Chains A and B, each alone.
Chain A
Amino acid sequence: MFAFILRRVLQSAIVLAVVALIAFALFNFTGDPVTFMVGQDATAEEKAKLRADLGLDQSFYVQFAHFLGNAVTGDFGRSLRQSRKVSDLFKERLPATLELSFVAAALALVIGIPAGVYTALKRNTLTAHFLLAASLIGVSLPTFLIGILLILFFAVYLGWLPSFGRGDTVALGWWTTGFLTASGLKALILPAITLSLFQMTLIMRLVRAEMLEVLRTDYIKFARARGLTDRAIHFGHALKNTLVPVITITGLQLGAIIAFAIITETVFQWPGMGLLFIQAVNFADVPVMAAYLCFIALIFVLINLIVDLMYYAVDPRLRVERLATAQ
């Protein structure tokens, strides 16, 4: 157990280091910062002095170590475009992205699981066929198109909901929330649906497949033989046993949701981190890009790690398999 955790932590650290290396490489791809910073008539001595002051005359390894050291303390320097500290920008944008992501994840679960159970239990009904066909279309539709269609229908034709922005927000310390105002909640609806739709179809198909698998097993047959009600069998025995993979996948998808928020935030001009990142990419604002990559990688690796450990703790069968496959 301990060796397993240690190995996973080590792997996570390697992933983070690689991402940090990529992020650091971004700085070198955008050209020599010294030429941007000094005037045209700067002498070679002035340039060399600036280079030494910035630590750019040192070897690649020293620079990378320096970058890593700063990154660990959350210091990514200043944004080139907005000339503010990147960490401040992130603090400002983080609540918007997290609120959107969590609402989307909750929506995907609340609708996806019942729909999956329904399509598995009532396999040959018209509704089940309709849901399955709809889920195939949901997987084939690009996220941005879903968002645009929703805007077209609910914001343009019906005029019920706002088509962009976050509405009014309330500040709780440094955290700003849109949950407490009517306009904030209204603004949240369309982006949250957009972001959740893909995960919803994924969860629905997963629950359906797992349910069908479990319903074939012997212990379900025995439960039936014991004369239990359908309700007890389906929800007490079958659904419970499908939830382990569902929890895992959902946990992993939470990271994907935060990443996919980039597109949703662009469509709805949602003032979150994804929009910040895309603007940074378009303006070659390297510190923001580097910080975003590292931050997302950190979130992703942490989620992966937690899910893996949870999986390991929840499902005893897995422990045996893991040990068997781990050479």
Chain B
Amino acid sequence: MPELATPAVGTGAPPGRLGEFWRSYAQSRGALIGLALVVLLVLLALFADIVSPHPPNEQYREFTLTPPAWDPGGTSQFLLGTDPVGRDILSRLIHGTRLSLLIGVISVAISLGLGIVLGLVAGFFRGLTETIIMRVMDVMLALPSLLLAIAVVAILGPGLINAMYAIAIVLLPHYVRLTRAAVIAEAGREYVTSSRIAGAGVLRLMFNTILPNCAAPLIVQATLGFSNAILDAAALGFLGLGAQPPTPEWGSMLSSALEFIQRAPWVVTFPGLAILITVLAFNLMGDGLRDALDPRLKR
């Protein structure tokens, strides 16, 4: 590590953009912890099949509700114990990481993509187009996010995919508003005008000239949207509207084990802990990114 740091300091040359960003990001201990956790979670999700000791849906009937390994009644075979039908909780949690991150990626990707396009269009063309788009977003923002998500799932029908759509719709207005505000702020700058004079087309102006300069707040919002998506997906799963059993989704794992809370608290605590750690990791990372990318937003 020291060898890497010396060139920038030793030669006195200003650090590159990435180096500068990293230096400001690494200042916060919380942000580093968040990043480390996120990397760990991504690795767990990618290699879930190799890492997890048992298949997630395999039922070991003679081991139902085995306590965790450190409990006198536990075995080292099931580190975090088993659930009411004898499935290994650790393996299910690891596979649940995959699902939760997938939910985050897909719903954030849908709403970010759609939000950027709508925001660019609204900010670039103004006038009636803008009014219509923004009024629709206002209507969506006027309802509490969770209620909107539940309403969407109620219309589409319960299920993991529909839950992702619902979360994407709920997140959408934030991206549209952010993009529009950034576009309006940038559109009057000289570099945009000069690009326009140089003969750049509308699409080029929108996506190539203006968009990269609006990226910072969008990246921050996307990271924080990730944790929102995971929380909402868990809530929908808990209400029975998201992933359906036997899918190892954390929220539905929790709700299906609720009746055993007195006899076997571990079936409820560990999925909860998994949600907490994941959401906390993305929140810490998002805060760190915000402080590093956009000092103006720092509070």
Contacts and interface: CB of A to CB of B under 8 A. Distances in A.
B19 interface: no
Contact of A260 (B144, B240, B276): B144
Interface string B270-283: 00100110011001
B261 A152 contact: yes
A300 B144 contact: yes
Contacts of B139: 14-15, 18
B275 A19 contact: no
A259 B239 CA distance: 14
Contacts of B280: 136-137, 140
A283 B261 CA distance: 26
A26 interface: yes
A139 B283 CA distance: 9
B166 interface: no
Interface in A286-302: 289, 293, 296-297, 300-301
Contact of A156 (B227, B234, B262, B279): B262
A97 interface: no
Interface stretch (B80-88, B150-158, B188-196, B288-296): B150-158
A246 B284 CA distance: 25
A263 interface: yes
B270 to A, nearest CB: 11
B251 interface: yes
Interface in B124-173: 135, 138-139, 142-144, 146-147, 150-151, 153-155, 158
Contacts of A277: 150
B182 interface: no
B265 interface: yes
Given A22-B155, A142-B231, A145-B272, A300 B239 contact: no
Interface residues on A, range: 35 or more
B254 interface: yes
Interface residues of B, number: 39
Interface string A148-178: 1101100010000000000000000000000
Nearest to A153: B265
A26 B156 CA distance: 9
Central interface residue in B135, B151, B227, B268, by most chain A CB within 10 Å: B151
A301 B151 CA distance: 17
Contacts of B185: none
A312 B146 CA distance: 28
A301 B141 CA distance: 11
CB-CB nearest 10 A-B residue pairs: A259-B144, A140-B279, A259-B147, A145-B272, A140-B280, A256-B144, A144-B238, A15-B142, A281-B154, A209-B299
Interface of B: 135, 138-139, 142-144, 146-147, 150-151, 153-155, 158, 227, 231, 234-235, 238-241, 251, 254-255, 258, 261-262, 265, 268-269, 272, 275-276, 279-280, 283-284, 299
Given A22-B155, A142-B231, A212-B299, 6 more contacts: A14-B139, A145-B254, A262-B150, A263-B239, A278-B240, A296-B143
6 contacts: A25-B155, A144-B234, A148-B268, A149-B272, A259-B143, A293-B147
